[in-house]
Structure 1
Amino acid sequence: MAIVLGSNQYGKAETRLVRFVRDSPRHQITDLNVTTALRGDFSAAYLDGDQSAVLPTDTQKNSAYVWAKTHAVDPIEEYGLSLARHFVEDVEPVEAARIEIEQFGWTRVVAQDGEHDHTWIRSGQEVRTAAVTVEAGGEHVVQGLKDLVVLKSTGSAFKDFLTDEYTTLRPTDDRVMATSLVARWRVSGDRLEGIDWNAMYVGVRAVMLERFANLHSLALQQTLWHMGRAAIEAYPQIAEVRLKAPNKHHFLVDFSAFDLENDGEVFHADDRPYGLIEATVERDDGPPSGDAWRFSAGLA
């Protein structure tokens, strides 16, 4: 029986960096978590412990820091593309590079005379994300977000579902629907040219939230389909949208013991167990995503 080394990669996970722009009295902040991963012929390192073709992960960390000094970090997608191209073009054993970035938001403190020039507070739970892949077969940017908690108090139903002898859930025409959304959308190849990444992020987020809010939902699955479809219709550069939505359940409190009515007013929120709904919405003429590596590490 032959035993062989399968696909492999290595890199530096979660390099935390904060970049300030101080070229005027009003400073700018960009707060990032950067993960790098490299692919190539590194079999000797695994099979024989030969490190001669291995660029240390510490070097990858330092490269991320230097790129934050010498290149713009806003938008994060351009920063990631530039860093990935460096690894592929300048480090001979490297055949493909993936850069994953999380961006944490900050909001300026408001002083008596307006927004403060160099003081911020962390804003919200939502995290902007980007995953960039550069390889011989092309370039891909997966823009996205995670931890976007969204809830609506009506306009959602769940009924006429399959039942068996273990079913206890009651159908409803009116329920609270809430989720902590993870959304990713991919742009590949020639469609990468000339994109305003910040505008695309704001725009895709807006159209998806509009669909969540205004669609009378018969199921969270239906909502995800319409959210992904709306993003692709709004932005022809997008080849596919991948959505992951844990159902944050809210259950009506039973007030019958207290001789009180609960007309959809008081709920208890359960964090687990939860339904986990996932969907991929694709443009049928879009460039393919290639191997699953581009959507590893939580991007699937």
Structure 2
Amino acid sequence: MTEVVLKEQRYGKDRVRLIKVIRTGKWHEVIELTVRVLLEGEFETSYTHGDNSKVVATDTMKNTVYVLAKKTVNIKCIELFATEIGKHFVNTYSHVTKASVLITKHRWTRMLVDGKLHDHSFARDGEETRITEVVVKRDKVEIKSGLKGLLVLKTTGSAFYGFHRDQYTTLPESTDRILSTVIDATWTYSIPNPSAISKIPYCTIFDSIRKLTLDTFATDDSVSVQATLYLMAKRILEIHKEVTSVSYGLPNKHCFAFDLERFGLKNSGADTDIYVPFEDPSGLITATVERVKSKL
């Protein structure tokens, strides 16, 4: 007879969408979020015996997010709002041992009208998002933040040569190429104690990491995506002591020169200016760089 056990379980509500309008007189702000809440705890019998007595309905989770969004003063800082949500579930339900809250903040940019920022009109500024994933336990809070979908391109200042070659290698070496990628980055915060949670300047750090990422991408005379990735992460860890590790995912967005020789036009070397973007297949470069504790 085969014996089976429930190895692990968690459940929750995903894709809770909300927009909050913050009005300060005629000056309005728009915050658009997508929230996911997952709970862990004493829910085994709902799986093994069909006993729902301890199940917090996912509809309850959805409604809780909206209520907390109405009451909170921290909605601009998604790390603090996610912590509020997680603590609510852990503190309200004694059988909940862990709450994982993922918040995606969508990008709205204030319109510029007649040379002035408009007080209540906005435009979607690309598909880039800001994210945070907060894990709340009874005695511990873990916070990881990041950005996703930041599409970048530079037309020079990138090379790729000296790589290993064998009988299957067809890629030519390049000392000058277009470099384009969609930046996904995450970083982990050091939370030494509960009181430290509210003292970390999450929004300032986010803005700084985004700028460091863009500045490094633009100015690094890149010999490879790997080398540029490492330099981005290294600079972040040197500047922000609150951050313990940085991870990047950088897929290649290839742009290849189109062959125009057959039409009597030169499109190679210094004369290359017509490219064809290719989506698939693409290279994917990932790495995590972390701070090492001193042994002294």
Bin for the TM-score computed over the shorter chain: over 0.9
Q: Which residue of 2 aligns with 1:158?
A: 160
- Cα distance in 2 for partners of 1:274, 1:267 equals 16
Q: Which amino acid aligns with 1:76?
A: I
Segment of structure 1 superposing worse, 146-155 or 110-119: 110-119
CA-to-partner distance for each residue in 1:27-49, whole Å, 9 max, x for gaps? 11100001111111211111111
- Cα distance in 2 for partners of 1:154, 1:109 equals 31
- Cα distance in 1 for partners of 2:42, 2:222 equals 49
Structure 2 CA distance for partners of 1:208 and 1:147, relative to 1, 3 Å = same
The answer to whether the 8 Å contact 1:139/1:188 transfers is no
Q: Which amino acid aligns with 1:285?
A: K
| Structure 2 SS opposite 1:167 | coil
Map residues 249-288 of structure 1 onto 2, 5 A cutoff.
Answer: 249-262=254-267, 263-285=271-293
Q: Which residue of 1 aligns with 2:14?
A: 13
Map residues 11-90 of structure 1 onto 2, 5 A cutoff.
Answer: 11-72=12-73, 73-90=75-92
| Residue 193 (structure 1) shift | 4.6
- Cα distance in 2 for partners of 1:34, 1:269 equals 34
Structure 2 CA distance for partners of 1:166 and 1:113, relative to 1, 3 Å = closer
Q: Which residue of 2 aligns with 1:241?
A: 246
| Residue 224 (structure 1) shift | 1.1
Q: Structure 2: any 5+ residue segments left out of the alignment?
A: none
- Cα distance in 2 for partners of 1:173, 1:142 equals 37
Map residues 217-232 of structure 1 onto 2, 5 A cutoff.
Answer: 217-232=222-237
Map residues 91-102 of structure 1 onto 2, 5 A cutoff.
Answer: 91-102=93-104
- Cα distance in 2 for partners of 1:46, 1:178 equals 47
- Cα distance in 1 for partners of 2:152, 2:172 equals 24
TM-score, normalised via structure 1 length: 0.91
| Residue 239 (structure 1) shift | 0.8
Q: Which residue of 2 aligns with 1:296?
A: none
The answer to whether the 8 Å contact 2:101/2:133 transfers is yes
The answer to whether the 8 Å contact 2:41/2:98 transfers is yes
The answer to whether the 8 Å contact 2:80/2:198 transfers is no
Residues paired across the two proteins, number: 286
| Structure 1 SS opposite 2:27 | coil
Alpha-carbon RMSD: 1.6
Q: Which residue of 2 aligns with 1:207?
A: 212
Structure 2 CA distance for partners of 1:111 and 1:151, relative to 1, 3 Å = closer
Q: Which residue of 1 aligns with 2:119?
A: 117
The answer to whether residue 197 in structure 2 is matched with residue 196 in structure 1 is: no
TM-score, normalised via structure 2 length: 0.92
- Cα distance in 1 for partners of 2:165, 2:138 equals 50
CA-to-partner distance for each residue in 1:197-254, whole Å, 9 max, x for gaps? 1111100111121111121111111111111111111100101111111110011112
Q: Which residue of 2 aligns with 1:289?
A: none
Q: Structure 1: any 5+ residue segments left out of the alignment?
A: 287-300
Structure 2 CA distance for partners of 1:265 and 1:19, relative to 1, 3 Å = same
| Residue 86 (structure 1) shift | 0.9
Q: Which residue of 1 aligns with 2:108?
A: 106
Structure 2 CA distance for partners of 1:216 and 1:58, relative to 1, 3 Å = same
The answer to whether the 8 Å contact 2:18/2:34 transfers is yes
- Cα distance in 2 for partners of 1:44, 1:75 equals 37
Structure 2 CA distance for partners of 1:218 and 1:113, relative to 1, 3 Å = closer
| Structure 2 SS opposite 1:22 | strand
From 157, 161, 173, give the equivalent of 2:175: 173
| Structure 2 SS opposite 1:175 | coil
| Residue 113 (structure 1) shift | 7.5
| Residue 51 (structure 1) shift | 1.0
- Cα distance in 2 for partners of 1:125, 1:82 equals 27
CA-to-partner distance for each residue in 1:168-189, whole Å, 9 max, x for gaps? 1111111111101100011132
| Structure 1 SS opposite 2:199 | coil
The answer to whether the 8 Å contact 1:143/1:185 transfers is yes
- Cα distance in 2 for partners of 1:110, 1:222 equals 38
- Cα distance in 1 for partners of 2:117, 2:218 equals 31
- Cα distance in 2 for partners of 1:261, 1:35 equals 53
- Cα distance in 2 for partners of 1:126, 1:5 equals 38
The answer to whether residue 135 in structure 2 is matched with residue 130 in structure 1 is: no
